[in-house]
Structure 1
């Protein structure tokens, strides 16, 4: 039995559990009172206690707080089907939280005021693991899948930098990492899914079966269905990773070298960031080559022609898992210091390569170190041709740059948070003007009109999918799309 199962059972001990809903008072009841509608039979529990509901009113952003009426801790996929159907009949809203507080929700996206939040971390079983794929519950986290697949020399093709995220959570948004230039995003590497639609129907979908739902749910931001299981592609991976870090003092050369590297494919992983250097800023290239002991990479060949600053190169070797999990020690430190719990008004952008240099320089000129709160600034490209997911909106350009301002609000005051969110909004307006798109997990206030622009030219297709799969708008109101 896993520690997560034990802790979940401990949580449920003494918790206030709902058994009925009163449609007149629009409230839950822990006893079957007169006029109340009994809940459907559940393998798990619907929790009413303040601690459970308060936990579900927060996310990684710690900016917006909407307290639900109840939290479903499902004991099975059948519980999710039953509660979506119940919510639809009673005119309630419902959303899946992929492990409360994970970083793919920073602005209340998975919160449901006066509704039901599903704690998907309760479903976290790896059901099958074969040579080419893994069939997993949506609450499984990427690091858990990686630990299970690596003994067979297998890995998901794309991993986010932080692998504590849940599989269902990133498939609802996108899931980007340094391997995306070759493989696309995580949503481009899911083979099939079990989805509970807003109608309360459990549907298995893939590229060959129920394709419209498959295309809608990937990067669908929870609007059409709740991903409950997914078959994720696995690929062969070598056990060691050699990491090369080097600094550039010229943004133009940095961006050109990055684009060159994703085209010639000499590295397995290509990322980059903007870092503090000598009182100013520099651009750090981070590239990785995977290898087998005895067949070490040829450094001189791999680094040939790159125009980084002499004397700045750092080369380190480690295991593939330690590289994939490299943020864990830092995040543990941030948690110990209490900074991990500070507000995170993040901003992730997809910038067309044709204007990336000018746009990045413009934004950086307006972004102080204090604005970042020691949070990182990511900057790296991928190829648009690797993307297969219709509702993952990216600019119309051959190469697209992820440009992320992963802010921490220091001091964590409401005034500072509001100022940073306002700055995010101003940057997004400028991004839209140059043909860019957001990666919509951010702390940016967006109107329905903003969402229509974001999904253009697929807005009508998006709206049609909502009418088809969630006609009563039961699912995920926190995005504010409709």
Structure 2
């Protein structure tokens, strides 16, 4: 019996046998587990967006990359065909990780998943000719685990997302944007090499120099060009601590002008720029007291109603300065020198100091708090947009001050970006 017919028979058998989990080594040629258990199927039919629900026929828990190859080969060779989707942490918004009547590959639960640190050799013929440290990771590995593993060597990836409980393959399939992107580019700009299982079931290694078309197609390709099973991520020496600052604005033009100024410093020496620049919009005056504020000392209380007495929208600019024992004595002066060049509301400075890992993992603290209140697993009709500088003022007046008004307390983030990154 050929592979195509064999797979279809197995799935039909499993569906007709309620609650049975198959160990399909002999049937599919894989080492992992193909499951139709209700808990597996239900989990794979949901995502963080909570807006759609599509049940797969089965869920594959791969034991190695070979299992992903076998499944994709079977799907490609099938006369009828069936959908396959790779699921990391299921943090997609519109059901992208679901596979209606197909098979979902549970990427985040690989037994014995690995993380290997290495150093690139200098080569005049390679796009990675500058050399440097890297980490090789399984595509389903969570970024929080990549961070912890890299820190054991005093290293860390250069570019992040705000939330670290996402899979490497998941964010690299989108872009991976956070406040470091103005300096280092998004996460997809910090990848040396990938292993990708294509739609034909071929395992292909690709980079800037090798199979470059696939490499650039997969990075930011929304999973449409293959499944990332290994990523080689650029590393840098990890700082020890972070000075985290927030300041408020009531004028949008001033807020964006200061953001643009700060990201224009990306080519300056480290002492003359911030390491992270982000921001968010406050259309509900209670938001400033609930969004990431538990890290900040109450010694700088700000009465929002006194700043936005007319019920207007406020804008918060967030910045950080990384440092370690060798630069601890100068961090205060460096921060003050940069703040003097900004035009924020003087009475609105919030400042705190914390370990590097605690800053990067800051959103997880808010997640735990929301989960305790039953507010994390609710629908998330989120929207991500790139808005050009020429249209941002109109976007502010039409959306922040118009459509939204005072009707939402959810996060509204603004990331300033350099197009050349």
Query: Could you say whether these structures have the same fold, taking a TM-score greater than 0.5 normalized by the shorter chain as the test?
Result: yes
- Spell out, residue by residue over 1:173-217, the C-alpha distance to the aligned partner (whole angstroms, 9 max, x if none): 110000000111101111101100000000111011111110111
Q: Does 1:315 align with 2:322?
A: no
2:14 to 22, 29, 35: 29
1:354 aligns with 2:390: yes
CA shift for structure 1 position 280: 3.6
Distance 1:26 1:46, change over 3 A: closer
Q: Contact 1:244–1:286 (CA<8 Å) still a contact in 2?
A: yes
Contact 2:11/2:57 (8 A) holds in 1:
no
Query: Is 1:385 aligned with 2:420?
Result: yes
Aligned partner of 2:86 in structure 1 is 96
Q: Which residue number in structure 1 is paired with residue 323 of structure 2?
A: 291
CA contact (8 A) 2:11 2:58 kept: no
2:198–2:204 contact (8 Å) kept in structure 1: yes
The superposition leaves residues 87-119 of structure 1 with CA deviations (integer Å, 9 ceiling, x where unpaired) of 2222111010113x32xx111111111100000
For residue 361 of structure 1, report the CA deviation from its aligned partner. 2.1
* Residue in 2 that maps onto 1:475: none
**For residues 27-49 of structure 1, what are the alpha-carbon distances to aligned partners after superposition, in whole Å with 9 as ceiling and x for unaligned?**
343799xxxxx842211111012
Partner of 1:221: 222
Q: Which protein shows a greater Rg? A: 2
State whether residues 21 and 29 of structure 1, in contact with CA within 8 Å, keep that contact through their aligned partners in structure 2: no
Q: Is the 2:7–2:74 contact (alpha carbons within 8 Å) kept by the matching residues of 1?
A: no
1:116 to 103, 110, 114: 103
Count how many residue pairs are aligned between Structure 1 and Structure 2. Answer: 357
Instruction: Quote the residue 1:54 is aligned against.
Output: 42
* 1:2-401 paired onto structure 2 within 5 Å: 20-22=6-8, 27-29=12-14, 39-90=27-78, 91-99=81-89, 101-102=90-91, 105-123=92-110, 125-131=113-119, 132-265=133-266, 266-275=273-282, 276=285, 277-278=304-305, 279-293=311-325, 294-297=328-331, 298=333, 299-364=335-400, 365-370=402-407, 372=408, 374-386=409-421
Residue by residue over 1:426-474, the C-alpha shift from the partner in whole angstroms, topping out at 9 and shown as x without a partner, is: xxxxxxxxxxxxxxxxxxxxxxxxxxxxxxxxxxxxxxxxxxxxxxxxx
Go from structure 1 to structure 2 and tell me whether the alpha carbon gap of 1:26 and 1:117 turns closer, same or farther (over 3 Å shift): closer
Contact 1:28/1:69, CA 8 A, preserved across alignment = no
Shift of 1:305: 1.7
Q: Does the CA-based 8 Å contact 1:273-1:283 persist in structure 2?
A: yes
SS of equivalent to 1:130: strand
Instruction: Give the secondary-structure state (helix, strand or coil) at the position aligned to 1:316.
Output: strand
Aligned equivalents of 1:305 and 1:213: distance in 2? 44
Do the aligned partners of residues 362 and 351 (structure 1) sit closer, same or farther apart at CA in structure 2, a change above 3 Å counting?
A: same
Please identify, of 65-74 and 231-240, the stretch whose mean Cα deviation from structure 2 is larger: 231-240
- Contact preservation (8 Å) 1:53, 1:67: yes
CA distance in 1, matches of 2:186, 2:148: 20
- SS at 1:383 equivalent: coil
Other structure's SS at 2:150 match:
helix
Deviation of 1:139 after TM superposition, in Å, equals: 1.2
Are the aligned partners of 1:179 and 1:270 in contact in 2 as well (CA < 8 Å)?
yes
Q: Relative to structure 1, is the Cα distance of residues 41 and 30 closer, same or farther in structure 2, using a 3 angstrom cutoff?
A: farther
- Inter-CA distance 30–247: structure 2 relative to 1 (3 Å threshold): closer
Residue 26 of structure 1 deviates from its aligned partner by 7.6
Report the CA distance shift for 1:22/1:179 in structure 2 as closer, same or farther (over 3 A): closer
- For 1:226 and 1:270, the matched residues in 2 are separated by 31
Residue 20 of structure 1 and its aligned partner are, at CA, apart by: 4.9
